[in-house]
Structure 1
Amino acid sequence: MASSSRRGGGDGGGDEDEPYLLGFIVAKLVGLQYYAGARKITARENVGLVREPLNVYDSNAIRALNRRGVQVGHIDRATAAVLAPLLDSHLLAAAHGIVPKPPKNARSAFRLPCQVHLFARQAAAALVGAAIAAADLDLIHADHPEFALSESAIVQEQTKNSHGDVDKLFALVGKDGKARIEPMEAPGDVVVSDLFEHQKEALGWLVHREESCDLPPFWEEDKDGGFENVLTKQKRNDRPPPLKGGIFADDMGLGKTLTLLSLIGRSKARSVGGKKARGAKRRKVEGAEESRTTLVVCPPSVFSSWVTQLEEHTKAGSLKMYIYHGERTKEKKELLKHDIVITTYSTLGQEFGQEGSPVNEIEWFRVILDEAHVIKNSAARQTQAAIALNAERRWVVTGTPIQNSSFDLYPLMSFLRFQPFSIKSYWQSLIQRPLEEENNSTGLSRLQSLLGAISLRRIKETDIGSKSLVSIPPKTVIAYYIELSAEEREYYDQMELEGKNKMQEFGDRDSILRNYSTVLYFILRLRQLCNDVALCPLDMKSWFPACSLEDVSNNPELLKKLASLAADGDDFDCPICLSPPTKTVITSCAHIYCQTCIMKIINSSSSRCPICRRSLSKEDIFIAPEVKHPDEDVSGNPSSDKPLSSKVQALLSLLKRSANEDPLSKSVVFSQFRKMLILLEGPLKAAGFNILRLDGSMSAKKRSEVIRQFGRVAPDAPTVLLASLKAAGAGVNLTAASTVYLFDPWWNPGVEEQAMDRVHRIGQTKEVKVVRLIVKCSIEERMLELQEKKRRLISGAFGRKKRGKNDKEIRVEELQMMLGLK
């Protein structure tokens, strides 16, 4: 492969930044008589193409290597003269060579036809196509009648009707590893707590994955003593290294952190024992003793979980931890003194590509990505930073490996370096595309085989009548439907009708996308109306743009309106990194992004808004004005004579009923709207409830204190916690409660599962009841339908994406569905 792609490149523009197959040209391999490697070319030989700019005979030279890396010849001079400048200028991201047929007489054949498959990013595709056409070379693209003649495994996978041979290979994957792996005790000199049986089994599996010398999946030893990947036909003389790691995907609340601490503790115990037994005969790293340091990457909310678990379950001082966050050392030696270094995904992203960043330069003994679904967007900077980390052992840890679609798994494969699935073109052709085909089980069965080979997944609940994995009391989830009052219903219906009319007025897909933020803003307000009319402005005219093309350049009111969209809810994500925006900015075309995400787009060759494709420059970017929250001390005034909303009345009724049944029982009320949590304080206090609030505006120290107070058992202890998703998401333990109220639904069912499992997890002693408050005949019922669609996508192995449409069509369809137009 001749390639111009550089690790860590990309502008954050999603799939548009990923190289894709433009098509192939037919070139010639020449000079075969001079190279011994040409004698061993076989049918459908993958040929490596390498630029040779210092070649004394031709500065455009591209040499060709066989599967074992031995030179077989060169690309013919005329074709090389076209391809070399494209590769050198990085317009071509990669060129793959394949020889369709071997020579009949290898000794007498001086040249061979070679299909050269060309990969480029979308922004460069037109320039590459023009250069190929100007040289009178025939680019055989996907719509060309001869495209199916390609010998590429990727192209053949797209065009052939039978997947039989490949499916047989997938069926064999992981079968050798199906033998039972013995449970393992935690190292007693480090871990003081007894592991549950499922944790011992997981520890045994983790250790087996790290210490096994098995060939990676799809690799076999051939008759010549070399090694071949039976899927890609790649060959090599040396044994490919084992895949030391995998996906630890146990359900949330099953104690994965303690299991991982046991794994880390075992490495330390073995290191100390080995040092005594073998003396100083150990590999050196930069003049120091070999590191056994584990890097843990996680969201900030999970820090407290790792620290608490370390304090509660390990001997004091047995494992040393360094928190690499905020003010932090730049000394590698300082970090390598510790057994665990813990940092955040955002810190990784900030330091990605920086000189002198120790996390990027250290060769870690082990890297653990906790809550690894955070890196579901392969184009995000923090994802690229995680993938680029150097480590001997690599673990993906998440209870929700798929949140939206099976494509969430691709960045995880990239991090694990699991070839060929860490290469996007292979992932798309072998897994993603078959998954997207309607009524096609090929992709699902392949995904099951693949994940079965490298992952461990257990869930808390099993089938009715069978034994649960752990002795956690059961969880029940019910939907409590609420009728709006006549006044609320009239107002809601009027708003929704206006929204439908406006959506139809926008008309086609492109017009809707140009007004994407307005539609999202409108949907947000409908959701807030279901909670309480006090959450949103009642001036309906302010909800809509003055014209069909929004422009915030000279419209400060529109700027404020859009800023409130990102600030009002916990579940608004930047469309590029798929995370809540940091340093929120708004484009002149009224779309909302992280500042760093959109600036990477603007600085790239495409420089267009990813949503509406409008051309952007730095002058089109506006910092979102600060949205001021109501003062916490004067919020929730219990003396207010304003009538309570139907949903608030329903919540109060349920809480009173629960308190009558058990005065000491505790409840958590989740809402994605911080303002709603504040509004709830007054009515709940007036009803006699002792409450606490936990939201994203609080410092980590304040949050920890709130959680500690909520766990207190006493007659005067708090019994209701009002919690936002940002503050009480991953890693927070709320087992003091036994009832969960989801005050408003979230788009993503995985997020709701995480909220429930703050309460339903190891340590819970009571049955857990989850109540979802849903307004009848409203946008909330349609959100449940959308959730169910996403659950179907993530059923099966870990997930299944049954979509053949592009993202823009899906985005518009979901907006129309929310307004009841579909």
Structure 2
Amino acid sequence: MLDRARKRNRRLSPSVSAAAPPVQNPSSPIPQTLPPRLLPSHAPTSLAMAASSSHGPAAAAGGDDEEPYLLGFIVSQIVGMRYYNASVTGREAVGLVRQPLNGYDGNAIAVFSARNEQVGHLPARLAAVLAPLLDSHLLAAAHGIVPRSDSKINRNAYTLPCQVHLFARPAAAAAVEAALLDANVDLITDVHPEFALSQAAVVMERAKKSDRDIDKLFSHVGKEGGKARIEPVEAPGDVVMSELFDHQKEALGWMVRREESSELPPFWEETGDGVFENSLTSQKTEKRPPPLKGGIFADDMGLGKTLTLLSLIGRTKARNVGVKKNKGAKRRKVEDAGEGSRTTLVVCPPSVFSSWVTQLEEHIKAGSLKVYMYHGERTRDKEELLKYDVILTTYSILGTEFEQEGSPVKDIEWFRVILDEAHVIKNSAARQTKAVIALNAERRWVVTGTPIQNSSFDLYPLMAFLRFQPFSIKSYWQSLIQKPLEKGNKTGLSRLQNLLGAISLRRIKESDMGTNNMVDLPPKTVLACYIDLSAEEREYYDQMELEARNKVQEFGDGDSILRNYSTVLYFILRLRQLCDDVALCPLDMKAWFPANSLEDLSKNPELLKKLASLVDDGDDFDCPICLCPPTKTVITSCTHIYCQTCILKILKSSSSRCPICRRTLSKEDLFLAPEVKHPDEDGPGNPRVERPPSSKVQALLRLLKASQNEDPSSKSVVFSQFRKMLILLEAPLRQAGFKTLRLDGSMSAKKRLQVIQQFAHGGLDSPTVLLASLKAAGAGVNLTAASTVYLFDPWWNPGVEEQAMDRVHRIGQKKEVKVIRLIVKGSIEERILSLQERKKKLISSAFGKKKGGKEDKEMRVEELMMMLGVGEE
């Protein structure tokens, strides 16, 4: 086995080596490391390279030692070309597709061109060696490249030379090299004199392209993206009744220009001999890359993006003409089943349905747009759906139908797909993310006021959906954008800004000076109200915080902290709850976690129930694998919490270990979390032990009374991420004379819409306080009936809080908006505000001018320790 020092010198994250597609392997967990056009329609959709993602706590535990690197390459041939009509040019990436069900050879590895056409196979002798290594996951990936030739490639040849580049993790490298040696297969490594002959982008770019060259390319693309003035476009008067604001007309003009563009995508250029080359990756093709018809519409929340989108849809309907031909290139018609399709698919969270329905009723002329709700009971007839102008559906429905046969949304070639609140797909491993990426459409729009919520990696799934090459390949995103940012390189931020400048539009409501610069909205003021805990509350809080710090210090190093991730999250959750109300937090914390933090759950059913309630109590608890709230929550015997789907995929891999603590797991070590029973949703709230309201509740009551005295007609929204807290607030608010409504994630979409409509209703007997969870009301909900927002507890994700504020501060608001944060002095809540500031810098700098600074990473060990105050004096 090669020594570690040499390995580190040539370790290449798969990110830098993706000029050629990896071998596809049906058992690998995460798809979309390739441009969709490189995937044959009949091939498996999961790729082995994707398992190398370095995102999330589980990856942090493994570090660079878990990351695949380039072992070397094998000089081989593509054989059997006589049986296929496809051709390949010199220096072309080819797809290597594992075909375990091939009737002639169970080890078969097929070769496909960049145009999804089969070219041939790898020789049977080589396939017999590589197939078992790939099937067993010892090899993480194999990349194929037809090397550049000085002479014209003979298109009638039966064989072609091919370089096969192999990637493996350090732990598997020795086994791979031994297998190749036993089979007398010559692996050319970086110490081999012929290594420089490799045509892989990673090797060639190191030889001829410096970082400075790459930065110049990004700079050029950034200038190209922002040089053209946006010409405003009016909404079609025969469809849209409302007059657009100037900024909406400009946005409509920008979107129309992008949809009608015939330009080459960023980084592509024509070389003059009928060949197109990507200047960033050196990939060449004889087929003209299609224009990037779409982009990221990232205007600030509350600026009327939905009406702008309806105007775009209406313009398509009003024109109702065939797609024009362009002088520079042939442009295909957007068709389905031979008929011109003009149907737009809108995908959004359930809470946003009501917003689209309301906007359609308020702004669109009756009967001018035919709308179908693809939700609940729905047609499976593709032709029926194509009769409509707009199809509204949800991410969850697409995720459910992703693996189902006969789903019409998968088969239709949509005229346009719009992802509303697109930050929902920030997790590239989630099934709903895979589902939207796989949709067929030429025009693709990402719409969100918060494209970055935690990390720049939130943008990668958006690039994959837009099919913006090469950034739709995870490995390229990591090498060119993610890793420079994480290392604190100034060029990383500059690249990100230029990239977004080329494909996105973002305007904000307020300038740096605090004056409204986009639309005539009343001002918004954000204030902090600091609260002192009572002596009793402080005693409980300090005891819990001391216990948490001691426990984390017992864990010692960062790896140990991550192995005990659930324990750390438990303490963070309970400290946050103690700031709200002691009644939220069980105080017998020592009974929760025995001395042995890895106690076997099979021997402790009570611990299983308590861990299940941990997930239920915390609306923001995420599965450490997919970084989304767990679905079908599973708790392992080592007390770690995952989605059932996520952990089962891990168990199918060769490691079969817990991603956090690395303890060996089997299906017998997994426990479905017991269902946590909720009180009656429509009841007056849970009976509770009679006790004075908490310090924070008392502060809220004082603020609400002062606001009511100032303006008796004013309405307020109180946001909390704890559903139990919303229930606890109902009784004291009603006793104080406030009429309340509650809006939380346990309610159906129909019930939520009823609550929103009730709250918007005026009159003496109308509700004056809405108690809302950030999840249920943080996106796509119009709450302009209120003018005051109370953030009862802070989130560490500032984007979620901004969404909540802008449910009130948006177009349609007539009063000045006041936002009040309730923060407990000397607590974890103050530390959360510090964490928010880090994330805000990343979000603002990504779309703004270069300001330097290091990108905020995911909440890893140092942030977990910061949250608990470990290391503070």
Q: Normalization by structure 2: what TM-score?
A: 0.83
1:392 has 2:439 as partner: no
2:868 is aligned to 819
Conserved 8 A contact 1:636-1:680: no
Conserved 8 A contact 1:584-1:594: yes
**TM-aligned CA distance change 1:673 to 1:123, over 3 Å:** farther
2:385 aligned residue (329, 335, 352) = 335
1:755 is aligned to 804
Alpha-carbon shift at residue 375 of structure 1 (Å): 1.0
Conserved 8 A contact 1:92-1:119: yes
1:501 has 2:564 as partner: no
Deviations 1:352-391 (A, max 9, x none): 1321111111111111111111111111111111111111
1:550 is aligned to 599
Instruction: Tell me how far apart the structure 1 counterparts of residues 106 and 570 of structure 2 sit (CA, whole Å).
Output: 57
Conserved 8 A contact 1:23-1:140: no
Instruction: Tell me how far apart the structure 2 counterparts of residues 617 and 176 of structure 1 sit (CA, whole Å).
Output: 53
Deviations 1:423-473 (A, max 9, x none): 1221112111211222x2111111111111111111111132765111111
**TM-aligned CA distance change 1:185 to 1:149, over 3 Å:** same
More displaced, 171-180 or 111-120? 111-120
1:681 aligned residue (701, 719, 730) = 730
1:165 is aligned to 213
Instruction: Tell me how far apart the structure 1 counterparts of residues 776 and 113 of structure 2 sit (CA, whole Å).
Output: 55
Instruction: Tell me how far apart the structure 2 counterparts of residues 755 and 315 of structure 1 sit (CA, whole Å).
Output: 30
Conserved 8 A contact 1:158-1:429: no
2:143 aligned residue (88, 92, 96) = 96
Q: Which runs of 5+ in 2 are unaligned?
A: 1-19, 32-45, 54-66, 83-87, 325-331
1:23 has 2:75 as partner: no
1:409 is aligned to 459
1:481 aligned residue (530, 534, 537) = 530
1:738 is aligned to 787
Conserved 8 A contact 2:75-2:164: no
Conserved 8 A contact 2:656-2:666: yes
Instruction: Tell me how far apart the structure 1 counterparts of residues 213 and 552 of structure 2 sit (CA, whole Å).
Output: 48
Instruction: Tell me how far apart the structure 2 counterparts of residues 71 and 286 of structure 1 sit (CA, whole Å).
Output: 25
2:56 is aligned to none
Counterpart residue type for residue 459 of structure 2:
L
1:435 is aligned to 485
1:491 has 2:540 as partner: yes
The secondary structure found in structure 1 opposite 2:821 is: strand
Instruction: Tell me how far apart the structure 2 counterparts of residues 322 and 126 of structure 1 sit (CA, whole Å).
Output: 57
2:59 is aligned to none
**TM-aligned CA distance change 1:566 to 1:222, over 3 Å:** same
Instruction: Tell me how far apart the structure 1 counterparts of residues 739 and 798 of structure 2 sit (CA, whole Å).
Output: 30
Conserved 8 A contact 2:95-2:144: yes
1:514 has 2:533 as partner: no
Instruction: Tell me how far apart the structure 2 counterparts of residues 101 and 333 of structure 1 sit (CA, whole Å).
Output: 47
Counterpart residue type for residue 556 of structure 2:
G
The secondary structure found in structure 2 opposite 1:450 is: helix
User: CA RMSD, aligned part only?
Assistant: 4.0
Alignment of 1:210-249 (within 5 A): 210-249=259-298
Residue identity over aligned pairs, in percent, reads: 73
Conserved 8 A contact 2:781-2:807: yes
**TM-aligned CA distance change 1:498 to 1:361, over 3 Å:** same
**TM-aligned CA distance change 1:673 to 1:467, over 3 Å:** closer
Alignment of 1:321-400 (within 5 A): 321-400=371-450
> Number of paired residues?
804
2:670 aligned residue (594, 615, 621) = 621
**TM-aligned CA distance change 1:616 to 1:87, over 3 Å:** closer
Counterpart residue type for residue 765 of structure 2:
D
Alpha-carbon shift at residue 261 of structure 1 (Å): 0.8
**TM-aligned CA distance change 1:447 to 1:7, over 3 Å:** farther
The secondary structure found in structure 1 opposite 2:602 is: coil
Instruction: Tell me how far apart the structure 2 counterparts of residues 31 and 705 of structure 1 sit (CA, whole Å).
Output: 63
Instruction: Tell me how far apart the structure 1 counterparts of residues 841 and 735 of structure 2 sit (CA, whole Å).
Output: 43
**TM-aligned CA distance change 1:148 to 1:30, over 3 Å:** closer
Alpha-carbon shift at residue 300 of structure 1 (Å): 0.8
More displaced, 627-636 or 676-685? 627-636
Alpha-carbon shift at residue 496 of structure 1 (Å): 0.9
1:611 has 2:690 as partner: no
More displaced, 590-599 or 217-226? 590-599
2:360 is aligned to 310
More displaced, 151-160 or 67-76? 67-76
1:5 aligned residue (1, 4, 24) = 24
Conserved 8 A contact 2:23-2:95: no
Counterpart residue type for residue 377 of structure 2:
E
Conserved 8 A contact 2:78-2:111: no
The secondary structure found in structure 2 opposite 1:224 is: coil
More displaced, 235-244 or 62-71? 62-71
Instruction: Tell me how far apart the structure 2 counterparts of residues 472 and 663 of structure 1 sit (CA, whole Å).
Output: 22
Q: Normalization by structure 1: what TM-score?
A: 0.88
Counterpart residue type for residue 437 of structure 1:
K
The secondary structure found in structure 2 opposite 1:118 is: strand
1:278 is aligned to none
**TM-aligned CA distance change 1:186 to 1:106, over 3 Å:** closer
Alignment of 1:54-93 (within 5 A): 82-83=129-130, 86=133, 92=139
**TM-aligned CA distance change 1:728 to 1:145, over 3 Å:** farther
The secondary structure found in structure 1 opposite 2:445 is: strand
**TM-aligned CA distance change 1:77 to 1:6, over 3 Å:** closer
Counterpart residue type for residue 229 of structure 2:
R
Alpha-carbon shift at residue 162 of structure 1 (Å): 3.9
**TM-aligned CA distance change 1:765 to 1:715, over 3 Å:** same
**TM-aligned CA distance change 1:102 to 1:227, over 3 Å:** closer
More displaced, 539-548 or 252-261? 539-548
Alpha-carbon shift at residue 180 of structure 1 (Å): 1.0
Conserved 8 A contact 2:336-2:413: no
Deviations 1:610-669 (A, max 9, x none): 22222322222222122233456353779x751221111111111111111111111111
Instruction: Tell me how far apart the structure 1 counterparts of residues 235 and 699 of structure 2 sit (CA, whole Å).
Output: 47
Instruction: Tell me how far apart the structure 2 counterparts of residues 579 and 9 of structure 1 sit (CA, whole Å).
Output: 20
Conserved 8 A contact 1:209-1:243: yes
Counterpart residue type for residue 369 of structure 1:
L
The secondary structure found in structure 2 opposite 1:477 is: strand
Alpha-carbon shift at residue 130 of structure 1 (Å): 4.4
**TM-aligned CA distance change 1:51 to 1:65, over 3 Å:** closer
**TM-aligned CA distance change 1:69 to 1:480, over 3 Å:** closer
Alpha-carbon shift at residue 129 of structure 1 (Å): 4.6
Instruction: Tell me how far apart the structure 1 counterparts of residues 447 and 551 of structure 2 sit (CA, whole Å).
Output: 44
**TM-aligned CA distance change 1:616 to 1:74, over 3 Å:** closer
Conserved 8 A contact 2:258-2:293: yes
The secondary structure found in structure 2 opposite 1:254 is: coil
Deviations 1:96-138 (A, max 9, x none): 356888679999xxx9997642246899777545433544667
**TM-aligned CA distance change 1:473 to 1:374, over 3 Å:** same
More displaced, 229-238 or 358-367? 229-238
1:704 is aligned to 753
1:258 is aligned to 307
Counterpart residue type for residue 143 of structure 2:
H
Instruction: Tell me how far apart the structure 1 counterparts of residues 285 and 596 of structure 2 sit (CA, whole Å).
Output: 62
Counterpart residue type for residue 300 of structure 1:
P
1:294 has 2:328 as partner: no
Deviations 1:73-112 (A, max 9, x none): 99899766644665688865653356888679999xxx99
The secondary structure found in structure 2 opposite 1:23 is: strand
Alpha-carbon shift at residue 298 of structure 1 (Å): 1.1
Alpha-carbon shift at residue 569 of structure 1 (Å): 2.2
**TM-aligned CA distance change 1:239 to 1:2, over 3 Å:** closer
Conserved 8 A contact 1:27-1:113: no
